[in-house]
Structure 1
């Protein structure tokens, strides 16, 4: 069985572009993997507002997946450039293994789901690392599309 899963970041996107990308990809559930999803900087993607918009505009569900969020100190060090992308990616992947996310999450929730983070593109974002990690543990069960 293969699950279709997407990833998206809200930064540098208008609300119109963001919701159109989700609609176009057939997303049914937004899977929030952000460490801080209530910041005023999140604008339309602030947790409570996003839940409302997803429901009213797209008929989508919203699920917070804290197990896929990075640790605060790790993210802080990376953002302060005290840690390279490679070191951050390794530390984050080790964190996922330590948390045993592949055993604790139901792969079915990812079908027609979309991992949400703030980064504009997936290249230097933990959302990409998360789906790649899960895919490696679940026998390439996820068909991944990055929306940007």
Structure 2
């Protein structure tokens, strides 16, 4: 199984969709809690669904069960909490949600999308690493 991750900030739509197409991503899985903000530019939910399909023949699905809660997100972003605390709380949330029970076919060949330009301090990385630990046979590529 192969999972990709990508962020949309600090990139152009051209670069974003080119990376998805070159990687032969089958589906873009939106793991953001809030995906309709005007600040998202080309990556607002409905626009993203349209562009992914029209430009790359790529499917789209919003999976809020792979997003942090508003409380966890606010403590990290608004209150400027430490990354380690955010990661610990989100890992605990994924375990309580038992995300490893998601039908694997929904994710195979998919690319998890969040806003952060790099995966280092982004929950999409935590999601794919958690699933790799639980499922074992997961190859991860950050686009």
Instruction: Please give the TM-score of this superposition, normalised by the length of structure 1.
Output: 0.94
Write the mapping of 1:1-148 to structure 2, written as runs, cut at 5 A. 3-103=1-101, 105-139=102-136, 141-147=137-143
How far apart are the structure 2 equivalents of 1:91 and 1:111?
26
Structure 2: runs of 5+ lacking an equivalent: none
What is the root-mean-square deviation of aligned Cα atoms in Å? 0.9
1:81 deviates by 4.1
Q: SS where residue 144 of structure 1 aligns?
A: strand
How far apart are the structure 1 equivalents of 2:141 and 2:79?
28
Q: SS where residue 8 of structure 1 aligns?
A: strand
How far apart are the structure 2 equivalents of 1:95 and 1:4?
23
Q: SS where residue 51 of structure 1 aligns?
A: helix
Structure 1: runs of 5+ lacking an equivalent: none
How far apart are the structure 2 equivalents of 1:46 and 1:62?
12
Moved more, 78-87 or 31-40: 78-87
Deviations 1:86-119 (A, max 9, x none): 010000000000111111x111222211000000
